[in-house]
Amino acid sequence: MKWEENVRKVVPYVAGEQPNKPDMIKLNTNECPYPPAPGVRELAAGMDCDALRLYPDSNTTLLVDALAEYYGVKPGQVFVGVGSDDVLAMAFMTFFNSDRPILFPDVTYSFYDVWAELYRIPYRICALDEDWHIRPEDYRQPNGGVIFPNPNAPTGLPESLDTVEEIIQANQDVVVIVDEAYVDFGGVSALPLLEKYENLLVVQTFSKSRAMAGLRIGFCIGNERLIRYLNDVKFSFNSYTMNYPAQMLGVEAVRDDAYFKAVTAKVVDTRERVKKELAQLGFTFPDSRANFIFASHRTVPAETIFRALREADIYVRYWNKPRISNSLRITIGTDEQMDRLLGFLKEFLAENQ
């Protein structure tokens, strides 16, 4: 059809499936296995429905202020979006407008190349080394911007603050985005570098460590000028991105720091135990500092294990893609969920290797 010539054609990002079976174990989208903070539940239960009549605060003032206070920055340094996917999508549109390619790793969050294609941003991928680490020297070539997660996904592997700074230092003429979706599970945040680098944008999310994937809250922190540019684009797109309940409940989640710390510590505890047990079952994996483990079995192909787990209603994530097609990304669930996973794997591997 002639009209199709002028359609923006994209190959969309494929999110992990969201099955809803009564007895399933869902370890495929890095959600938190524990509920949000008790204050969030209380506030949600008593939510003023009359307020839904009005448009929400388009500046998300209360949530921006709560985050600014929590992270010790100015409110003008904080931008809030509908999940960090929304923040990242806005940031790509705002900051990556060069004819030069943006740079990101080959094994990384698979939304980056989708946004690049959507916005027609040229990009070049930089291969991780054999141990799944970023090679900072790759980020010394001419480019139109840099983005990488820390810890990386789906490997879970963190980079040191020195490596992150080396990359930022070499790229002060472009915006460098550090996607810290998983930083609360033992990574090192680049936030302290904000004082030194006005081209740094740090992106985080409430979806994992704050157990609120369903509400869709993400945010970023950076220099006030960066945030102003980001807001200009956001307000040229959709003023009322974040709904009223998300703004109110998000503030409540930030307030309960003790609960946040307890939940992340519990996930880390379980992760470290599961690492030991997976190793005993013959799995190898990078030393994750995220809420998942990226595991390969020494003898049984990942796809075989993935299918067997799925049959048993245990959902993990598998990609049939170069370099990662023999690995499973296993989200850290409750101890009971992980025991069921490990119990299944023990039996399955005993029969199948």
Task: Round to whole Å and give the CA distance between 233 and 193.
Answer: 25
**Looking at 26, 158, 159, 179, which residue binds ligand PMP (CB under 6 A)?**
179
CB of 83 to ligand PMP, least distance (A): 3
Contact between 136 and ligand PMP per CB under 6 A? no
Using CA atoms of 317, 267, 37, 214 in order, give the dihedral in degrees to the nearest 10.
Answer: -10
Contact between 109 and ligand PMP per CB under 6 A? yes
Task: Round to whole Å and give the CA distance between 141 and 281.
Answer: 42
Site string (245-284) toward ligand PMP, x via CB under 6 A: ----------------------------------------
Contact between 184 and ligand PMP per CB under 6 A? no
The answer for residues whose C-beta is within 8 angstroms of residue 213's C-beta and 6 or more apart is 29, 31, 32, 83, 206, 207
Contact between 31 and ligand PMP per CB under 6 A? no
Contact between 294 and ligand PMP per CB under 6 A? no
Tell the residue number behind the tokens 């003429």, with chain if given: 173
The answer for residues whose C-beta is within 8 angstroms of residue 141's C-beta and 6 or more apart is 103, 124
Binders in 204-243 for ligand PMP, by CB under 6 A = 205, 207, 213, 218
**Looking at 85, 113, 184, 252, which residue binds ligand PMP (CB under 6 A)?**
85
Nearer to ligand PMP, 179 or 252 (CB): 179
Phi-psi domain of 60 (left: phi exceeds 0; alpha: psi -120 through 50; beta: other): left
Task: Round to whole Å and give the CA distance between 33 and 13.
Answer: 24
Task: Round to whole Å and give the CA distance between 229 and 247.
Answer: 22
Q: Which span (83-91, 138-146, 156-164, 305-313) binds ligand PMP, by CB under 6 A?
A: 83-91
Q: How many residues does the chain have?
A: 353
The answer for residues whose C-beta is within 8 angstroms of residue 249's C-beta and 6 or more apart is 36, 40, 43, 44, 212, 215
Contact between 327 and ligand PMP per CB under 6 A? no
**Looking at 56, 149, 158, 187, which residue binds ligand PMP (CB under 6 A)?**
149
**Looking at 84, 171, 223, 288, which residue binds ligand PMP (CB under 6 A)?**
84
Q: Which span (48-56, 80-88, 259-267, 334-342) binds ligand PMP, by CB under 6 A?
A: 80-88
Residues within the interface to ligand PMP (CB under 6 A): 83-85, 109, 149, 153, 179, 181, 205, 207, 213, 218
